[in-house]
């Protein structure tokens, strides 16, 4: 679970946004933890986080201010030797559905990664990646690359179309993230 962003458009730390009786990061860790184990959260050093379950590990970005690739690198290193692949999601997807995670894992098959695509847009921060991609992540970071799309292109990720996912998430709400107050307020309403 990635939560090391600066939340510039939101104007406040997304991981602390309340949704129901929990904070957004707590909600995402709970949802992800219901499907996969272990759960690792990647954050910036010195970043205050809401209380997480004792079995949820926290690691810190491998390279400071390098965006989600740095968080992914830190998380992948923490998971090395413990599993073959990781479901990656940023903490700002409050309507993420467990069945959506399960389906992406099923779609991985023999591929290096599986990235959902909906309405001509890909979502590399709601995706599954094999951990043997760690050297590629390290190489990209070492060369100053910060774009997640560059990583997914280089690793030859399988694209999961809406048709592959609609039966588990008919509204594709798992892909909705909150970047500003308006999208956050709408998500709270839709979360019930």
For residue range 137-165, list pLDDT tens digits in order: 999 999 999 999 999 999 999 999 999 99
Q: What is the dihedral of CA 30, 131, 71, 123, to 10 degrees?
A: -70
Residue by residue, pLDDT tens for the chain (192 residues) are 999 876 777 778 899 999 999 999 999 999 999 999 999 999 998 899 999 999 999 999 878 888 899 999 999 999 999 999 999 999 999 999 999 999 999 999 999 999 999 999 999 999 999 999 999 999 999 999 999 999 999 999 999 999 999 999 999 999 999 988 898 899 888 886
Compute the distance between CA of residue 177 and CA of residue 91 in angstroms, rounded to an integer: 8
> Rounded to two decimals, what is the model's pTM?
0.94
- CB atoms near residue 136 (< 10 Å): 16
With beta carbons less than 8 A apart as the criterion, state whether 75 and 56 touch: no
Cα dihedral sign for 81, 82, 83, 88? negative
The mean pLDDT of the chain is 94
């Amino acid at each position: 679970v990635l939560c090391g962003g600066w939340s510039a458009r939101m104007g406040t730390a997304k991981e602390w946004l309340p949704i129901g009786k929990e904070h957004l990061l707590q909600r995402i860790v709970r949802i992800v933890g219901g499907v996969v184990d272990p759960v690792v959260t990647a954050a910036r050093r010195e970043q205050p986080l809401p209380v997480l379950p004792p079995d949820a590990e926290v690691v810190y970005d491998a390279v400071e201010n390098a965006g989600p690739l740095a968080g992914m690198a830190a998380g992948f290193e923490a998971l090395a030797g413990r599993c073959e692949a990781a479901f990656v999601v940023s903490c700002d997807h409050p309507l993420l559905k467990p069945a959506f995670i399960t389906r992406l894992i099923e779609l991985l098959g023999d591929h290096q990664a599986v990235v959902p695509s909906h309405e001509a847009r890909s979502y590399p921060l709601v995706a599954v990646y094999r951990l043997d991609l760690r050297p590629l992540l390290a190489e990209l970071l070492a060369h100053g690359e910060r774009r997640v799309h560059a990583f997914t292109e280089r690793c030859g990720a399988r694209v999961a179309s809406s048709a592959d996912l609609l039966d588990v998430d008919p509204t594709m709400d798992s892909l909705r993230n909150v970047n500003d107050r308006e999208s956050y307020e709408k998500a709270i309403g839709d979360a019930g």
